[in-house]
Structure 1
């Protein structure tokens, strides 16, 4: 498209430079974010400054900066530093690190070739606007942390991500119904049925369900360390009494596949690369569980009238479990590992005997599991 011709007052001026006839001054509009800068009344100086700035903002401006000795530290290089030096000491769970990896790849693409100090508020805002509310808030949180570390090293003057505003997240997923989860279970393979049953009885998250091992069942208890909150609260260290209800599920998990994990499967075909990355070839990945649950839910057609964004996933089985415990007049807080007020980090785990939260998983799921 041919650009609109400049008016008489601005003819002969370089792009982004404008003459204010009323005041007799010149001003420059920064092309990256539209911010205005006053350049005074000297026409020659204003034109000279505008030309230099336009060169910097044009593609290849980073090369000009290199010649002038103003090369910026690339944002992608700082992400490498962030991943290799800043994240590891935090000892984050694998699921959290996987989520970080997704967002960091997105940042690399969005700010490719940009220096840390070249990323503006508008650039960050445009990236966040392209995401859903939840993803945008996650990305914003990560970017704020990244730029805080960059600013601490003097790589940028301020934090452009912190100047953006968090989006309002509206929870759209609905809760599972007893009839719905029963229908999904009927359409599930045996290993997924066991995962659903364990989630109902123990009210644990996907990560912890898939990490449960047969060796964790000892002395009449199932020992679980919640990966998400183990570093934050005593409530994450749970010792479940092996009730008849729980024992029935554990028994169903035992089959002709030799696996250390309660929830396991024999892959249709083993891939060498995937096998090397797994702790055991029978271990089920979180994304595979999510996808298999979705397939079973779609096959069951139990929530056919609900929109896609309203369809509950495996994570919502935990909410149904807590609802059923409450309905049965039982305390679901200890079962779920929810920290009560005043609970603090379990400092003793590295120095003395671990303090385990006692839980009795005795929910009757016969209405669902038969």
Structure 2
């Protein structure tokens, strides 16, 4: 089994010995089961002990590795197969794929060099332990799916990730207030103002707003195919009536930049990037950063912790709250499928079932 590359803190240390920067001490990872042992802060003693243990555990390791390399598959090797063959069939949104890339990088760094049928529950649990609840649960779910596919091919006897317990996620982000979002909007460039206004009046998700095109507004309606739900429910195919309120927002999206997208910007460098079909398209991460910068410039939500500060995504919650307060039904415009709605099996045909909704929220109190 080939050990993973050592980071700066562990360079010069024997295999399986690591420096724990948080405790200022060394710890040894037993190669047979991944269990950790604290070796104290004395570097010389820790190295000596690790070398003695390695002589015992790794005796004949070169011969064993030759056999394993020929007949076994590492988790990292199987992840390559999973990414190239399994994920493409699911037609996942780009934002989801970007998130997976982050998790894959973490998984490869911690477990990628290990033979897949030798990874234990303890190893997975120790990998997940230092991660935040949300990150750990995302990585756990992804690993569980990976091991399910590996087990189905006979590469491992069980699913160690599925045997771990999910962490409890406590929602920390608070909701936007009308005054807070108004202050933020006042510190944003025009393209971001348009994105905020569209989010308020249509109650759509960030990715769906950034995908809206001028050609989607036709015959008195704005047609939206929600990335998250279109594959599963009729509610994901929305036909939003263009009310005077929505038309005012659409009109503001027109400017001197020639772009197919409602929300667009002129970048500093005219360059087409991966995942973008037009140089004016705004990607989700850029929008998130720009919104955060505007929020900091506005100075609103003083006294709130960093993890409590609402982002662009929380505009959707405020929109639905305002719809409800105005006595309107926000469920359909949000694209939340009810129990009576059936799956939309006609997604690739001309007779797609569109859910007709009306975007008639008055946002003049925020947008001016």
Per-residue Cα deviation, 1:59-91 (whole angstroms, up to 9, x for no partner): 983652424887421111100110111111111
Aligned length: 323
Other-structure match for 2:183: 183
Change (3 A) 1:124 1:282: same
* Backbone CA RMSD of aligned residues: 2.1
8 A Cα contact 1:128 1:140, kept in partner:
yes
Q: CA deviation at 1:316?
A: 0.1
Q: Choose 1 or 2 for highest CA Rg.
A: 1
Other-structure match for 2:157: 157
Change (3 A) 1:58 1:262: same
Q: Following the alignment from structure 2 to structure 1, what is the Cα–Cα distance between the partners of residues 60 and 177?
A: 58
Q: Following the alignment from structure 1 to structure 2, what is the Cα–Cα distance between the partners of residues 356 and 310?
A: 36
Structure 2 segments unaligned to the other structure (5+ residues): 1-29, 37-52
Other-structure match for 2:284: 286
Q: CA deviation at 1:349?
A: 2.5
- Length-normalised TM-score, structure 1: 0.83
Structure 1 segments unaligned to the other structure (5+ residues): 1-28, 36-52
**What secondary structure, in the 3-state scheme, does the structure 2 residue paired with 1:240 have?**
strand
Per-residue Cα deviation, 1:294-319 (whole angstroms, up to 9, x for no partner): 00001101112100000000000000
Q: CA deviation at 1:275?
A: 3.4
Change (3 A) 1:256 1:158: same
Q: Which range moved further: 105-114 or 63-72?
A: 63-72
**What secondary structure, in the 3-state scheme, does the structure 2 residue paired with 1:257 have?**
coil
**What secondary structure, in the 3-state scheme, does the structure 2 residue paired with 1:169 have?**
coil
Q: Following the alignment from structure 1 to structure 2, what is the Cα–Cα distance between the partners of residues 267 and 204?
A: 24
Q: CA deviation at 1:345?
A: 1.7
8 A Cα contact 1:56 1:65, kept in partner:
no
Q: CA deviation at 1:31?
A: 5.0
- 1:33-48 aligned at under 5 Å gives the runs 33=34
Q: CA deviation at 1:109?
A: 1.0
Other-structure match for 2:172: 172
Other-structure match for 1:100: 100
**What secondary structure, in the 3-state scheme, does the structure 2 residue paired with 1:170 have?**
coil
Q: Which range moved further: 136-145 or 98-107?
A: 98-107
Q: Which range moved further: 56-65 or 333-342?
A: 56-65
Q: Following the alignment from structure 1 to structure 2, what is the Cα–Cα distance between the partners of residues 182 and 72?
A: 58
Change (3 A) 1:70 1:251: closer
Change (3 A) 1:356 1:157: same
Other-structure match for 1:369: 367
- Length-normalised TM-score, structure 2: 0.83
8 A Cα contact 2:183 2:298, kept in partner:
yes
Other-structure match for 2:4: none
Q: Following the alignment from structure 2 to structure 1, what is the Cα–Cα distance between the partners of residues 252 and 62?
A: 62
Q: Following the alignment from structure 1 to structure 2, what is the Cα–Cα distance between the partners of residues 68 and 175?
A: 53
8 A Cα contact 2:94 2:275, kept in partner:
no
- 1:19-98 aligned at under 5 Å gives the runs 31-33=32-34, 57-58=57-58, 61=61, 64-67=64-67, 71-98=71-98
Other-structure match for 1:141: 141
- 1:320-335 aligned at under 5 Å gives the runs 320-335=318-333
Q: Following the alignment from structure 1 to structure 2, what is the Cα–Cα distance between the partners of residues 218 and 60?
A: 71
Other-structure match for 1:193: 193
Change (3 A) 1:339 1:257: same
**What secondary structure, in the 3-state scheme, does the structure 2 residue paired with 1:195 have?**
helix
Q: CA deviation at 1:33?
A: 4.6
Q: CA deviation at 1:32?
A: 2.4
